[in-house]
Amino acid sequence: MASQDWLDKDFYAVLGVSKDADEGEIKKAYRKLAKQYHPDRNEGDDAAERKFKDVGEAQAVLSDPEQRREYDAIRSMAGGGARFTAGGQGGGAGFEDIFSAFGGGGGGSRMRYSSGGGSPFAGGGGGEPDLEDIMSMFSGGGGASGFGGQGAGFRAPRGPVKGQDLTARTELSFRDAVEGRTISLSVNGEKVNAKIPAGVKDGQKIRLRGKGAHGDRGADRGDLILTVSVGKHPVYGRDGSNLTIDLPVTFAEAALGATVAVPTLDGSQVKVRIAPGTPSGRVLRLKGRGIATKAATGDLLAKVQIIVPTELSEAEREAVEVLRDARPDDPRAELASGATA
């Protein structure tokens, strides 16, 4: 992280802890916020994703004793976040100039503090610069320190850079999406194994940690953001964690009642009771026969569809006519009267 970033960001405020918070308080605050703003719980929420990154950035610095000492010192001598720019003739020291000066102009060394005297520059009189030397440079007490002149051209030390996040797409069958599976992808010419959790939805994005681009040596890999497309099933549909199915029944079964078999996704069948007088469109719930995820297991929702025969034999026609004549009521009577209300 660049030194100017440390000036601009109050990591204690990001985590909601005091400046004298111990390691346990910092860890507790981080875990709470990371869970709250995790991308898996805030899909498509850019603000939550930025907050998640800020929380991780703050925790990375404050949980490292050496980085935290440096951060506290920088914020203290900068007056809590003032911005410093590299000066021209007679100007003030650039903030990055100060950091790189400790490394002899070559950059890359970490700032350390010691109680020894001497020049505030590495190699300028022996010993490491202490905090008072640094403070004096800002107040003009550095004299011939060289921060007010031109050509300071120094850089702050920088840690290894994490790899970039990558995106990819994959298509799953309905069954694989419901049951979950491990798939292989080719990302930037590299084979990546990805575990797809049970119950993934069509269009859902899955963040696969550490499956993105490689970073600098010693740095973490980025993440892979995988968008999943789910195919259709010839029999089943989906409603959240529930599976849905249209259940055909005959007019006789619906009118007189019956026990019928309903197929389930695992290949078995479950018997379900059709009550006498069941209308078309009624939904029968088969508990625990839906999609099983870590959070819960859904149900199988069977929607009754009364099948009307398209062709009738002479005997069947006569039987239907007998039923018609026995029930002369008009089922649309209420519909007609309600239409004129």
168-201 pLDDT tens trace: 999 999 999 999 999 998 888 888 888 899 999 9
**Given this model, what pLDDT does residue 252 score?**
92
User: Can you tell me the distance from the alpha carbon of 324 to that of 181, in angstroms, rounded to the nearest whole number?
Assistant: 54
Q: Name the more confident of 205 and 86.
A: 205
User: Can you tell me the distance from the alpha carbon of 195 to that of 30, in angstroms, rounded to the nearest whole number?
Assistant: 26
Confidence category of residue 125, pLDDT binned at 50, 70, 90: very low
This prediction has a pTM of: 0.50
Confidence category of residue 260, pLDDT binned at 50, 70, 90: very high
Question: Distance from CA of residue 102 to its chain's centroid?
Answer: 40
Give the range with max mean pLDDT: 140-154, 181-195, 253-267: 253-267
Q: Where is 199: in which H helix or E strand?
A: none
**69: nearest Cα among 101, 14, 120, 113:** 113
**Given this model, what pLDDT does residue 116 score?**
41
Confidence category of residue 261, pLDDT binned at 50, 70, 90: very high
CB atoms under 10 Å from CB of 161, counted, come to: 12
**73: nearest Cα among 128, 7, 171:** 7
Q: Name the more confident of 328 and 241.
A: 241
**Given this model, what pLDDT does residue 150 score?**
42
Q: Which of 66-70, 133-137, 138-142, 243-247 has the lowest mean pLDDT?
A: 138-142
Confidence category of residue 218, pLDDT binned at 50, 70, 90: confident
Query: Looking at the predicted structure, is the pLDDT value of residue 241 above 70?
Result: yes
User: Can you tell me the distance from the alpha carbon of 157 to that of 139, in angstroms, rounded to the nearest whole number?
Assistant: 23
CB atoms under 10 Å from CB of 150, counted, come to: 11
Mean pLDDT of the chain: 79
CB atoms under 10 Å from CB of 135, counted, come to: 15
Confidence category of residue 145, pLDDT binned at 50, 70, 90: very low
Q: Where is 271: in which H helix or E strand?
A: strand 269-274
Question: Looking at residues 258-284, what average pLDDT do you find?
Answer: 95
* Beta strand segments in 189-241, E: 190-196, 205-208, 224-230, 236-239
Query: Looking at the predicted structure, is the pLDDT value of residue 36 above 80?
Result: yes
Give the range with max mean pLDDT: 56-70, 77-91, 111-125, 264-278: 264-278
Three-class DSSP category at 29: helix
Query: Looking at the predicted structure, is the pLDDT value of residue 100 above 70?
Result: no
